Chains A and B, each alone.
Chain A
């Protein structure tokens, strides 16, 4: 699943480790989500959306592969 996580994180000048800290996951998890190798669960997707003050659909796109 494609997502805008990397761009949103970069806009805030956060490192992967800083974002991982805020989401209470490992840096590897953030990297896997950003590169599309891991699709987050619904609870984690909600945590990400709340952190960036956006909706899940604004961050994740399930239409294109």
Chain B
């Protein structure tokens, strides 16, 4: 019975391994590092464009070096976190669904990279604004999104287990209600003159944040 008790102790609900950090914490940090790396690339592209437009000064090199240090540091940390994850026995279908999530992240990263590098603007934050992007980059982003999201979602949904399917459904329900509340209220508030014009991407980000929060919470519960 001693072995049985040891086995029970080894499995906490959020514990990934004997000395490892919880999986949700590790993967959240990896996503954050990726976002910072993409942001740094956009920042470098913006500073370079501003330098070309207004003349390169010693300060420009300093700003670019800071961007390279930030992006490189974030990419390095993200890779260390990914490579250092504890190896755990994983069922084939779970491994496949995890791989689909990683591929989805990579597709998002590539779209972000293409938009960041093709947005010639002196504003380092241009990637996160409504500023114009070249038609080819916009077309690439639309094509990649339309081609990959349904296909990857279909593969993912076919491979998740019933507990994850339930967590996904709970997240989706919470997200649709968030949209149901936010979209009409913001639109009416704007028409009433006391709210700014509705922003599609802000609504999208809020709805997706609600979905991801509920999905991850229900998955780990």
Residue from B3, B4, B5, B13 in contact with A31 in the complex, judged by beta carbons closer than 8 Å: B13
Q: Which interface residue of A9, A13, A20, A26 has the most chain B CB atoms within 10 A?
A: A26
B89 near A11: Cβ-Cβ < 8 Å: no
- Chain A, residues 28-61, CB within 8 Å of chain B (1/0): the string is 1101110101101100100000000000000000
A13 near B220: Cβ-Cβ < 8 Å: no
CB distance from A27 to the nearest CB of B (A): 7
Contacts of B164 in A (CB 8 A): 26, 28-29
Total number of A residues with any Cβ neighbor in B under 8 Å: 29
A15 near B7: Cβ-Cβ < 8 Å: yes
What's the dominant secondary structure at chain A's contact region?
helix
Q: Indicate the size class of the contact surface on chain B.
A: 20 to 34
For window 79-138 of chain B, which residues contact chain A by CB distance below 8 Å?
88-94
What's the dominant secondary structure at chain B's contact region?
helix
CB distance from A28 to the nearest CB of B (A): 6
Bound-state CA distance A13–B166 (Å) is 29
Bound-state CA distance A30–B163 (Å) is 9
Bound-state CA distance A41–B166 (Å) is 11
Residue from A6, A20, A35 in contact with B89 in the complex, judged by beta carbons closer than 8 Å: A20
Contact status of A11 and B4, CB under 8 A, knowing A25-B161, A28-B164: yes
Bound-state CA distance A12–B22 (Å) is 26
Contacts of A15 in B (CB 8 A): 7, 10-11, 89
CB distance from B18 to the nearest CB of A (A): 11
A25 near B3: Cβ-Cβ < 8 Å: no
Bound-state CA distance A25–B161 (Å) is 6
- B219 within 8 Å of A by Cβ? yes
B220 near A23: Cβ-Cβ < 8 Å: no
Chain B: which residue is nearest A23 at the CB level? B91
- B162 within 8 Å of A by Cβ? yes
Bound-state CA distance A44–B163 (Å) is 11
- Chain B, residues 161-182, CB within 8 Å of chain A (1/0): the string is 1111010000000000000000
Contacts of A7 in B (CB 8 A): 4
A21 near B91: Cβ-Cβ < 8 Å: yes
Chain B: which residue is nearest A20 at the CB level? B91
4 tightest Cβ-Cβ pairs between the two chains A and B: A10-B4, A29-B163, A25-B161, A16-B11
| A interface residue numbers (CB < 8 A to B) | 6-7, 9-11, 13-18, 20-21, 23-29, 31-33, 35, 37-38, 40-41, 44
| B interface residue numbers (CB < 8 A to A) | 3-5, 7-8, 10-11, 13, 88-94, 161-164, 166, 219-221
